[in-house]
Amino acid sequence: MRYKIETNFPEQLPNIEAALKIIDPQAQVVADNGDFSLLIDIDASSFGVKIQLSAPQVSWSFNDQEINDRRYNLEDRKQRLKEIVRLGIINIFKAIFDKNPPWGILSGVRPTKIYHYLRDKGFSGQEIQERLLQNYGLSPAKAKLLLEIGQLQEKFINNQTISIYVGIPFCPTRCHYCSFPAVSLETHRHLVGNFLKGLELEIKATSALCGELGFNIESIYIGGGTPTSLDDDSFAQVLRWITDAFDIRRLSEFTVEAGRPETVSKAKIEAMVASGVNRISINPQTMQTATLRGIGRNHSIADIYNAVDLVKATNLILNMDLILGLPNETGTMFLDSLQKVIAIDPENITVHTLAPKRAASWHKEFDELNLLQSQELVNAHGIAVDLLQQHGFIPYYLYRQRAILGDLENIGYAKRGTESVYNIQMMEERQTILGLGGGAVTKWVVGPDFKVSRHQNPKCPATYYQRVSEDIVKKAQLTRILLS
């Protein structure tokens, strides 16, 4: 739909458009001939907002008193004006579109940040819950979920440590829905050798930098791509570079992402155990053979069980990922996959919801694919939440994506005491994470407001190798400036 907006605060137009997109993802703000005409009057001094829709005639007005709470500062007050406008837009249009967005005015990737923001201000759990409902317009179920996750995360964040991410951007084939920095070994195997030379340089340089600046490393996460798609010797070599560079005994967590089960071998598991890895992620995404073929994964269900058997013979914490909403999958099929994964009894299960992404090879065809964006899938998600909780899994981190199916979210579940600290730190952005390898993102988190500065290594393994020496110097300089 097209929306004509008149407002005495034109600087709010991007915010108004963002709010409209929550309720109408195709919303476009236009100068003339809108399908809807809105008059938005903002009084910044009294935090008053009046919104009038001309046809049908609907109006909404609000004068915020809560922002006068002494715990808020000037920045919070500026932000609040945007929040009131968003709340008004959603309230005006929810009856017209017959939609009540469960996440209210929150459209970002990390809604749990709101919990920590309010907690830092000194609000209690009860006060946060009230604000999630009233100021942010969350549904009672989402407010409860966010509160539960935020409270659980508190003991993990606000520390003085850093973490390290190592990206290995290779996979056996590329999944059709993939938007990660990953190339297929079928076509790019010739790039592995130089990529590893670059990675060795970067691991050694990062080790020296951490020593120079006296960093305490809380966790290391080797992701990608699929790190275990390297051959056994190369994989063991990467682990040796890491164990030579960092004091592994002091880590709280050391994870290897082994997303593709067919890449897991006994030798790799033994190398992980010998190197102090204590968490592994094996990600079937579905337990339906037809779907595996349809999404471009060339492994079998038996491969999943074989990989799990190797892990079960160790003390590694096992995470398994599933995706709700894969093409041609009904909610019943997803629940069948979930029950099979629960029967495996991993310590962690991460439930993703499909969100079409621009970087996926399916991008252009997403509309034509049989994505069953039905209430049945949303209902299955609700059943999955209950099922996981019945089996002792608690939600411990959460993130959302643009255009995510059914306005849902991605949730990491864990048996109590096995939560992944890296996942929490990475999502809440309260800890600096140094990213090494292909497509790896370094996030420096600085100051009392947790300001985040980012740098991404090249995603292409060849470009990574060409630029690695230059990038090492640039990132070291920035780390010294920002963190020492």
Is residue 68 packed enough to be buried (19+ CB in 10 Å), middle (13-18) or exposed (0-12)? exposed
Question: Which CB sits closer to ligand SF4, 207 or 337?
Answer: 337
Choice between 215 and 362, CB closer to ligand SF4: 362
For residue 228, the one-letter residue type is T
Q: What is the closest distance, in whole angstroms, from the C-beta atom of residue 212 to ligand SF4 in the complex? A: 33
Nearest Cα to Cα of residue 145 among 373, 400, 342: 400
What is the distance between the alpha carbons of residues 372 and 378, in angstroms, rounded to a whole number?
10
Rounded to a whole number of angstroms, the minimum distance from the CB of residue 168 to ligand SF4 is 10
Nearest approach in angstroms of CB 260 to ligand SF4 is 5
Q: Which is nearer to ligand SF4, 224 or 331 (CB)?
A: 224
User: In whole angstroms, how close is the CB of 356 to ligand SF4 at the nearest point?
Assistant: 14
For ligand SF4, give the closer residue by CB, 175 or 217: 175
Judged by CB, which is closer to ligand SF4: 115, or 177?
A: 177
Peptide bond into 56 cis (omega under 30): yes
- State the DSSP code for 59: E
- The least CB distance from residue 360 to ligand SF4, in Å, is 9
Closest contact distance (angstroms) between CB of 295 and ligand SF4 is 8
Identify which of residues 52 and 184 has a Cβ nearer to ligand SF4 in the complex. 184
* Closest separation in Å from C-beta 52 to ligand SF4: 47
Closer residue to ligand SF4, CB minimum distance, 169 or 331: 169
Q: Which is nearer to ligand SF4, 149 or 171 (CB)?
A: 171
Alpha-carbon distance values, 279 to 221, 228, 311 (Å): 9, 14, 10
Q: What distance in Å separates the CA atoms of residue 225 and residue 180, rounded to the nearest whole number?
A: 7
Under 8 Å between Cβ of 288 and 329? yes
Cα–Cα distance for residue pair 5/419, rounded to 1 Å:
46
For residue 37, the minimal CB distance to ligand SF4 (Å) is: 44
**Distance of closest approach, residue 179 Cβ to ligand SF4, in angstroms:** 8
Do residues 450 and 429 make contact, with C-beta atoms less than 8 angstroms apart? yes
- The H or E element containing residue 276 is none
Are 86 and 18 a contacting pair, CB within 8 Å? yes
Q: Which of 283, 273, 281 is nearest to 423 (CA)?
A: 281
Place of tokens 């038996």: 302
Nearest to 82 by CA among 67, 101, 69: 67
Q: What is the DSSP letter of 369?
A: S
Q: In terms of C-beta distances under 8 Å and separation of at least 24 residues, what long-range contacts does 242-249 make, across chains too?
A: 242/166, 242/203, 242/275, 243/275, 243/276, 244/207, 245/203, 245/204, 245/206, 245/207, 246/164, 246/207, 246/210, 246/217, 246/220, 247/217, 248/220, 248/275, 248/276, 249/276
Q: Indicate the residue among 251 and 308 with the shorter CB distance to ligand SF4.
A: 308
C-beta of 153 vs 226, nearer to ligand SF4: 226
Q: Closer CB to ligand SF4, residue 259 or residue 331?
A: 259
The C-alpha atoms of residue 185 and residue 171 are separated, in whole angstroms, by 6
> Cβ(4)–Cβ(38) under 8 Å?
yes
- Which residues in this chain contact ligand SF4 in the complex, by CB under 6 A? 171, 174-175, 178, 180, 182, 224-226, 259-260
Cβ 181 to ligand SF4 shortest distance, Å: 8
Residue 184 CB, shortest distance to ligand SF4, in Å, is 8
Beta strands in 227-333 (DSSP E): 253-257, 279-281, 317-324
